[in-house]
Amino acid sequence: MTEHHELAFRLGRAAALSLVAGTVGGAAVLAGQAIAARNRRYAQPELGLALRATVGRAGAPPLRLVLLGDSSALGVGVERFEETVGGQLAHLLAEGPTGWQVHLSSVGVAGSRSTDLATQVARALLGERPDVALILVGANDATTMTRPADAAAYLAAAVRRLREAHVEVVVGTCPDLGAVRAVASPLRQVLGWSGRRVARTQTTAVLDAGGSVVDLATETGPVFRADAGTLCHDGYHPSADGYRVWAHALLPAVSAAAAVASRHH
C-alpha cells in the first residue's frame, strides 16, 4: 500500500471513529471530507534523497546523529537533502558554536507509527553507535486514532533501548495536525485534538524513559497555522520552510544532547 493510500485510509478511519459521538449532519460533513482526503495526491518519498551524509568541516568534533520515525524523518515533501529537517539541522549544528562535523543518517520509514520504532532502533544500533538519536513520530498514531497510552508505551520502549546503548535521545512530539490544509474543518479539528492527546502522553513517557522532548505542536504550530508556505504542495507534509522551522525548534535540545554525548567519548 502506498503512503498516499495509507494516509487516505487513516483519514477515513479517523473520520469514521469521530462519527460515533457526532450528529447525522456532522457525520455527512466528515464523511464527505474523508472522501475528499482520499482523492488527494500526497507527496511521496524522493528516492534520490541521501539517507547518509556528512556535513561540516574536516577535523571538527564528530557527531553521529540518526533520525528515526515517520515520513518527516526522511524529508517527504521536499526534493533536496539540504531541505530536509535532518539536512537543515546538520547544517545548523555544523555552523554553531561547537562546529560539529555531523555524520547524519536516517532509518525512518514513511507511514511509520510508534509500534514500528523497535525495528528502526535495531537498524540504528547496527554498526557504529550513534551519539544522538532524534525521533520524529506521532502523526500517524494520531490519524489512526491509536490509543495514546499504547503509542507512548512503544515510544518509551524505543527510548529506553537507545539510552541503554548510551545514545542520547531527543523526541519531537506529534506536530500540530490542526494546521494541515489537506483536510477541511471539522475533520481538521478532530485530527488536531487527536494529535494533542498523543503529544501529551509522548512527553511523559519520553521523560520517564530518559529522553528529552521538543513539543513541536506548541513550538511550531502557530507558524504552520499562519503560513501556508510551511506545507508542501499536498497541504500535509512540511515544505523546506516548514522543515526549517522544525530544525530551529529542535536545535537547542539536539545541541544539548550532543554536548552530553561528547563528554562521554
Q: Which of 234, 144, 143, 241 is nearest to 188 (CA)?
A: 143
Mean pLDDT by 10 residues, the chain (265 residues): 51 52 46 47 54 90 96 91 94 94 94 96 94 97 93 98 98 96 87 95 98 98 96 93 98 97 82
Task: For residue 79, give the 3-state DSSP assignment.
Answer: coil
Q: Which residues are catalytic?
A: 71, 234, 237
Task: Answer for the pair 173, 72: CB distance below 8 angstroms, yes or no.
Answer: no
Query: CA angle at residue 80 from 74 to 82, to 5 degrees?
Result: 85
Instruction: Compute the residue count for the chain.
Output: 265
Q: Which of 121, 138, 128 is nearest to 213 (CA)?
A: 138
Task: Answer for the pair 101, 62: CB distance below 8 angstroms, yes or no.
Answer: yes
Q: Which runs of consecutive H residues, i.e. helices, occur in the chain?
A: 3-18, 24-38, 85-95, 117-124, 139-143, 148-164, 187-209, 216-226, 240-263
Task: Answer for the pair 203, 155: CB distance below 8 angstroms, yes or no.
Answer: no
- pLDDT for the residue numbered 95: 95
